[in-house]
Structures are given as structure tokens and as C-alpha cells.
Chain A
Amino acid sequence: MSARETILDAVRSGLGNTAVDPAAVRRDADALLQDLPSIRPALLADGLVDAFIARVTSPKVAATAERIASASELPAAVGRYLEAFGLPAVVALQPAAPLQDLDWSGFELHDKVAPDEMIAIGVARWGIAETGSLVFHSGADTPILANFLPLHHLVMVRADTILPFLDDYAAATAGQRPPRNVNIVTGASGTTDIEGSLVLGAHGPRFLHVVIVGTPDSSE
């Protein structure tokens, strides 16, 4: 008997060989996701953007955030960030249209992220207010390594893509073909592996700066 058959048989005999009705299993599974507010934390603020920013900048997540009115202001925001850190205007730009279409004059751009890349700029598909997370999908305009190699990761997210809870992300994508990778990124890379003390920049970015564009009901 193959390993597969042996294991499945052992599972069935362990469970007492009861026949499974897939529709009933489905119903039970759905029922387990009822009444979500009773099993998840409340948001930190009433407004979605405020709740999101409160989480992003909370000590636990320890990222920084700012708001701009329109994406066209992103290059200037990046410029200010680089100046504050005394960094050169040499950045890896994610090959995504919302970023590529902006006016980056004064910057030296490249789209391949080097192993010791200093600064990379990306765009998240969604923000999650519950946890202050950013969600990325791998794809033609989203290399996954770009989220992990740079020391400074600057991420643009549109206010109207901020979802209240992680469950809302699951609901928004349910039934679609999943990308190879879904990255839910919450703050910079960190480790507590040496004596439990938190150090940022373990293997991934040491700094995460989130730039929120527009308002929840703007379609900028």
C-alpha cells in the first residue's frame, strides 16, 4: 500500500470510519467563522486610516507613517525621508505602474533589487487596520525579494485600499486564484533570538515607512 493510502486509512480508522458529507463539513467550517467581532480585537480608532496609522506606529509594529493627498506627492515624500536619513537619492523602484508613472526626476532609479540594497520603494495592494499590515501579491510587477532585501523599505498604500480586518482581506480574495506568494508585512524585520531582546533589521528591512495616499473615499 502506498504511504498515501496507509495514512488516509489510518486517519479513517482513527476517526471511526464515519462517512463524510462534504456539504455538512462545509457548513460546519463556515459556522466556525461566524460572529467574528467576538473573537478578534477591536480597531484602535474609528476611522480606518486613523486605526491603520495608530497600529503602524504603535510600539509593537514600530514603523513610521505619513499621509499625502495624491500619489504625485510621493517622490517629494521619499526625498524628505532620504534627506532625514542622509541617504543618496538612489532607489530601487518596484516595476508597478502606479509608481513608474510618477515624476522621479532628481532620483537615480533601478528596478532590480541588489542583495545589499539601501532603499526600495513599493506599493501595497491593501492595508489592514487591525494589525497595521501591508499586503503584497507576487506577480509581474511585484518581485517578492524587493520586500525583503532593502534596508529601508518605503511603501505606498492607497487609503481606499485599507481594509478593517485580516478577515476582510480573506473575503476580498476568496474564490480567486491565489498568487504564488501573499506577503502580509507588519513592521520591519526583527528578531528576539538573542536573549529575547528585540533587534530590527534581522534579515529583512530595518526601517519600514508607510505612505498613505488620499482618503478612503477618494479614487485617486
Chain B
Amino acid sequence: MQEATLSFKARAKEALADPTLKIAIDRTTGTAERKRAVAMTQFPQFEAARERGKRIKDHVIANLDHYLLEFERNAIASGAKVHWARTAEEASQIVVRLCKEAGAKRVTRVKSMLGEEIGLPHALDEAGIERVETDLAEHIVQLGGDRPSHIVWPSMHRTREQVSEMFKRLHRAPHQEETIEAMVDSARRELRDKFLTADVSISGANFLLADTGATCTVTNEGNAELTTTPPRVHIVTAGIEKLVPSMGHAIAMLRLLVRSATGADVTQYTTFHCGPKQTGDRDGPEEFHIVLVDNGRTRMLREGMKDMLRCIRCGACMNHCVVFRQLGGHVYGGTYPGPMGAVLTPVFDGLESSRDLPHACTMNGKCQEVCPVAIPLPTLLRGWRDRSWREGLEPATVRFGLGIHTFVASRPRLYRLGTAIAIRVMRLFSRGGLVKGMPGLGAWTAYREFPAPAKRTFMEMYKDQEKGQ
């Protein structure tokens, strides 16, 4: 129990002590935030589009069995093979088995969060299959031997200096000039022949189209198409919540997804993949497999987390999260970081090991405000907190609260933002006049319970607990 808490605290501490991490996070999330804001001014229909997007996803979830069957029927008719996986392990096993059946020595992968979620990189490595990540950021993550720290920019935690050093050390013909352009070129050279000589490609899907059985990928680099076209076998892994009724619905969702993620109107490459190579086609895979993955999604349906199934993985909630922007993605410890990760990780990893995450939140509501499908993230996080109390996991949670609060409070700008929220949160946390388990009260182990915050300001209380340390 304590170990997870300590490791989260340790991770947070490490993140705060890292001199380059904050710079790296700011460079990417700052740009993303600005570009999204500009995109919104150019899209006055956003509010209406968002409401519609929410309804589209809700409609799909409400008829999920119907759409799954329709998708399966049409995918099979297009020549695809459809597989179903209850768990992450089952999904990885299916993919590894398909790779082995194809006699694959080398597979190329298009970044997919579902792939990360089911532990696919690890499973492939274990199976002794050479795995080539083709998304530039995932390539950087692979070279660095670490994990993605953002769902849209997985290597966001790396500064250009670090990337340059890695490329120089590991690329066959690395860049000479110290520019980002030259580094991107170096990766282009490095990966070129690997695209063309892989035996199997693996991608995710941003959308599954029920009425045709097609899957949709969006990328800016063009790596999805370069990855999935040459190999003899293409395997798609996708969560069952990715369904939409038709291309028209996918388009409505795309307008929301891309603006929210990068501020562009549409990604450079939006591709619909439908079945294997057709008669006469000049290129394309001969086998096309789709693995439909549950891994906790039907449990979310049962356990009151239906809203979260709308998530289209745009990353806006983390780009706008004060906690994420201080600590980056790795401290969240799961596949998905930021507010959406704090909601999802307890689903995948269990609340016991991840109960700190729902507390790593100031409840400022910004994530819900920017979410393109209006997911009530703070409410869902509160739900986890409540459950954590009910299940008697509070003490450890509070100890974590100190860590997270210490970093917020030691940053004046953040702190000012936080204080207004704090009182509100504290009321929320107050039970019968006593504050129980309020994140930020580090001396909780000494005090056990605090009076509700009627007379004292948050700052006073905070000073007290600092002294108590």
C-alpha cells in the first residue's frame, strides 16, 4: 500500500527536481494551449459541435452491442479478420500470435495509446520480435528506453538537446547541424528502410466505422500509411468505444479531435483503412486484422463511468492541467497521464495502487471546460476519491496529498490560483465539521483530523503543517 504512495511521491519529487523537465513540458503544452485557443476563435461553432460530439459518442455507447456487431459484419465482408480480447493480456497475446503466424522478424508500429495500454511494446519485445516505432516521438521514447509522457506528444519530456544527443549516439547517419529540422531529417533517414522491410505493421484506430468496417488513423507525419502499406500483414488494435456509425460521424468528431489536440483544423493525413489489398491494388497488405479490446471498458459501463467512454484521446485536458504542467506525464505511473489518466488508471491498474491519482487535482475544472466531448472529469475524480474513502484507503492518500500540495504551494502563481479553489475543495472534503483526508494536509498523520475551514485560511493551515513536518 505504502509503496505505491511512496513511489508516486518519489516520482513527483524527482520530476520537480529535474531541471530540464519543466522547460520541456512548457515548450510543448504552452504551444498546444496557444494553438488550441487560436483554433477556437476561428471555430465559433465549437460549443454546438462539442454538444453534438458528446451526443454522437453517447448514442454509440448506448447502442454499443448493435454497433459492435454491425462493425464486425462489415469488416468481415471487407476481407478483414476480427478478433476480440477481454483483457490487455489477451489482446497482446492475439497480436503476438498473429505476428508469429506471419513469421515476423520485424514489425513496425504506429503510435497508439491502446497499444501502450495493453502493453504491446513489452509483449513484442518479450516475444523476441524486433519492434520499430515509426512515430517520431515514439521513436525518441524507444531510443531513450523510457515511457510515453503524453498521449499526443509522447516524448514531450525530452528537450531538443537530449534528443540530439540520443540521435547522435544511436542513428546510423546522424545530423551534423544542431537544429530540430536536421534532427527530424536524421530520423527520416534512420527509419526509411525499416518502413519498407517490415513483415507486419501494427496500428491503432481513432475511429471504427460501423457501416463499412473501416478503421481510421490520423497522423501528421504520414508514418501511419508508410507503416501499414508495405508489410504483408496489418494488425489494428482498438478499444470497443472507438466506434462511430459512419464516416459522417467520424468527420464531426475529427473536427473536435484535431482542434483540441494541436489546434490544426485537420491532421495532415486522415486515412481510412478498409480490409486487405483489393484486386488490382498497386500496394497494401494481404491480411488485415482488427483486434477489438475491452480491457475494463464494459466495467466502466457497469460502474457509472460511462461518460469516460466518450474520450477521444485528444490530450487537451492534460495540456490545460496545472498539475500535469508541473510534473509531466511520468509521475502518473500509468499509460494515460493528466486528468483523463487519473480517471482511467484506477480502472486498469486498480484503485489500490493508483488512488493517489484522483487526488493530484486542484478541482479547477479547466479539464472539463476544454474537453471536446464534455467529460465531467472532476466529478469522475471525486467519484474515485469517495470510493477510496469508502474502501478505507485514506491515510496513504493523504500522505500523497502533501507531496502534491507542497509543489503547488511552493509555486506562487499556481498557488494563488489554487487558494480560491482550496476553500471550495475543503468544504467538499469536510465531513460533519471535520476535514478528513484533504489532500495537502501533510501533517495529517499527526493531527488525524482538522476542523473545517471556517476560521482559518488555507495558508495558515498550510504553514502549520509545514511547521509540523
A contact residues vs B (CB 8 Å cutoff): 2-4, 6-8, 10-15, 20, 22, 25, 28-29, 32-33, 38-41, 60, 95, 115-116, 130-131, 133, 138-145, 147-149, 166-167, 170-171, 173-174, 178-197, 199, 201-205
B contact residues vs A (CB 8 Å cutoff): 24, 27-32, 42-43, 45, 48-49, 52, 55-56, 59, 62-66, 68-69, 78, 83-86, 90, 134-137, 140, 153-156, 158-160, 163, 180-181, 183-185, 187-188, 191-193, 195-196, 212, 214, 220-223, 225-226, 229-230, 240, 245-249, 251-252, 254-255, 262, 264-278, 280-284, 292, 294, 298-299, 301-302
- Identify B240's interface contact among A7, A145, A167, CB under 8 A: A7
- Identify B294's interface contact among A7, A115, A140, A167, CB under 8 A: A7
Please, how many angstroms separate the alpha-carbon atoms of A186 and B258 in the complex?
13
With A142-B282, A148-B226, A181-B271 as contacts: A39 and B277 at CB distance below 8 Å:
no
- Identify B266's interface contact among A15, A131, A188, A197, CB under 8 A: A131
Within 8 Å CB of A115, what residues of B? Answer: 192-193, 196
Please, how many angstroms separate the alpha-carbon atoms of A201 and B221 in the complex?
8
Within 8 Å CB of A8, what residues of B? Answer: 65, 68-69
B266 touches A186 (CB 8 A): yes
With A186-B267, A188-B268 as contacts: A194 and B31 at CB distance below 8 Å:
no
Please, how many angstroms separate the alpha-carbon atoms of A184 and B160 in the complex?
31
Identify 6 residue pairs between A and B in the complex whose beta-carbon atoms are under 8 Å apart, listed by A's number: A8-B69, A29-B59, A180-B274, A184-B269, A194-B155, A203-B195
B90 touches A3 (CB 8 A): yes
- Extra contacts, 11 of them, besides A28-B59, A170-B251 (Cβ < 8 A), are A2-B84, A7-B292, A10-B301, A38-B45, A41-B45, A145-B229, A184-B269, A184-B270, A188-B268, A196-B29, A204-B221
A199 touches B32 (CB 8 A): no
Please, how many angstroms separate the alpha-carbon atoms of A193 and B142 in the complex?
14
Please, how many angstroms separate the alpha-carbon atoms of A166 and B253 in the complex?
12
Report A42 CB to chain B, min CB distance, Å: 8
With A15-B62, A183-B269 as contacts: A60 and B78 at CB distance below 8 Å:
no
What residue of chain A has the Cβ atom nearest to residue B137's Cβ? A193
Please, how many angstroms separate the alpha-carbon atoms of A11 and B297 in the complex?
9
- Identify A138's interface contact among B153, B212, B267, B284, CB under 8 A: B284
Please, how many angstroms separate the alpha-carbon atoms of A25 and B243 in the complex?
14
A60 touches B252 (CB 8 A): no
Within 8 Å CB of B180, what residues of A? Answer: 194-195, 197, 199
B271 touches A184 (CB 8 A): yes
Within 8 Å CB of B66, what residues of A? Answer: 20, 22, 25
